[in-house]
Amino acid sequence: MFTGKLLVRSVLVALTTSSVGHAQSSPATAPDPTPAAAAPKVTQTAQQNPAYPAAAGSAAYSFMPAIWPDPEQPRGPINLPELLSSALVQDGMKRVRAVVPTSLLNVEVKSTQAVLGSGAVNYVGDTSAAGMCYGQAQCHRLTAANGYQPDVQMCPGANVWGLTFDDGPTDSADNTNSSQLATADLVAALAAANNIKATFFVVGSQSYWHPEILKALYDAGHEIAVHTWTHAALTTLSNEQIVAEVLYTEAIIVRTLGVRPRFFRPAFGDIDDRGRAILGALGYTNIIWADTKDSGDSHGQTLQQVVDNVKAWFVPQPGFIGLNHNINPATTEMSIEIVKLIQAVQTVGTFPLTVQAVGQCLGVSPYTPVTGASATTSSTRMSFSSIVPTTTTAFVDITATVPATISTQRPPTSTNRVSVGSAGQPAAVAGLVGVAGVLAVAAGLAL
């Protein structure tokens, strides 16, 4: 079994309210214009600064928190008034209100999750209507408009794979069996595979628990990006909650590493135009993944199925950004096997892709200056002219740009996370193929 420190999308948490994921805005400030339902019936607590020493570069960061959100994810999205009314969040809201159209900030919150932090997000109404364009419903914005910047799914160069891992950092000590795989094992596999670099979209609560692992990731040359504090579905949150989920995660990264991330990925791919606009106002670039490049490792698939999914990517094609995970031992094992598969094919000289971190493939720094919490002017934002194709439509299906040799089957509608059994493995992953089997598969690839 996992302790409370492990990412909880592998644990089904029943709530006593039907309004999942909504939380009250702070009564200490003017009401947030986005309606918010009653808070989940869970008790959150604020945390003090972690004992891990603050990075020297963090001193320049304005409004560094003295207290932090509850790092126990089953307690839901950030909803404590003292956190939502903090100087950090209110400065963020000031920036948001200065540039985001009121029409977007007033978009009614209608989406829900049946289980907090797990599974598909349920949307109401036309998912591609003005102000909507839900990411999990395969709607993506590829041009800047109406206060938001485009989503980024592709690397601009041909045959470039933007390698990403979501949901860490994780530690083997989180599990009753300390031999189970975690972030350090994935980093070792990447180093062994010709020192491949990746972008890790980290969760703030996990970074609070494991700052030393976050630092080791950064020191190994991997890019660190934001993936919310609680892995909350953005479209279920109030405006202030979105700001809090982003900025508290940003702050713990700055405190630990002394750098401020440029890239953000929404949990579950769940985003709408309101979320896009808020992220842009905070200085973030929204990094999704190409629709056909979800490895399937978080959908309860077996290791062999995930290997087969990703093996189909090993062909010449336009550049893309993929999706892999570092949630728990099962998904970490799958990610490691993928890295070893890349290594094996590279060794025989038939690998047609260049694997890079997102900043590498986009040709921009993954970080922006740490010069105060409000230093997210237009000068810190990346240019999309060479990344996003020019189009007259606000959103397109990415499968139209994928060669016929690539499967265009969409990922499952449900994005249920891996259900973990007592041994720390998903029930569907009994009898998984081992490393030797994967390497044998690699040797027989016809590319």
Q: DSSP letters of 369-409? A: --S-TT---GGGSPP-TTTSPP-SSS---GGGGS-TTS--P
What residue numbers bound the domain in which 160 lies?
12-443
Give me 100's structure tokens: 């985001």
Is 4 part of any domain?
A: no
Higher pLDDT, 41 or 387: 41
For residue 6, tell me if it sits in a domain.
Answer: no
CA distance 310 to 178: 28
Average pLDDT, the chain: 78
DSSP state of 426: B
pLDDT tens track for 358-370: 999 999 999 999 9
What is the identity of the amino acid at 377?
Answer: T
At 190, list the tokens: 């990447």
Structure tokens that stand for 27 in this block? 């009564």
236: in domain: yes
Smallest CA-to-CA distance from 4 within 95, 69, 71 is with: 71
Question: What SS3 state is found at 202?
Answer: strand
With respect to residue 219, please indicate whether it lies within any of the assigned structural domains.
Answer: yes
pLDDT at 199: 98
Does the structure show a pLDDT above 50 at 114? Answer: yes
Report the distance separating Cα 428 and Cα 418, nearest Å: 9
Question: What percentage of the chain has pLDDT greater than the value 70?
Answer: 72
Q: Supply the pLDDT for residue 41.
A: 59
> Does the pLDDT at position 274 exceed 60?
yes
Contact 357, 163 (CB under 8 A): yes
DSSP annotation of 292 reads T
Q: What is the mean pLDDT of residues 119-141?
A: 79
Q: What per-residue confidence (pLDDT) applies to 250?
A: 98
Is the pLDDT at 432 greater than 80, yes or no?
no
Give the mean model confidence (pLDDT) for residues 210-237.
97
User: Which domain CATH number covers 392?
Assistant: 3.20.20.370
pLDDT band at 142 (very low <50, low <70, confident <90, very high): confident
| Domain assignment of residue 388, yes or no | yes
What SS3 class is residue 299? coil
List the Cα angle 15/13/420 in 5-degree steps: 165
| Band of pLDDT at residue 427, cut at 50, 70 and 90 | very low
Q: Are the beta carbons of 251 and 370 closer than 8 angstroms?
A: no
Would 5 be classed as within a structural domain?
A: no
409 located within any domain: yes
| Helix, strand, coil distribution of the chain in percent, nearest 5 | 35, 10, 55
Q: How many structural domains does the chain have?
A: 1
pLDDT on residue 25: 28
Does residue 3 fall inside a structural domain? no
More confident call, 137 vs 303? 303
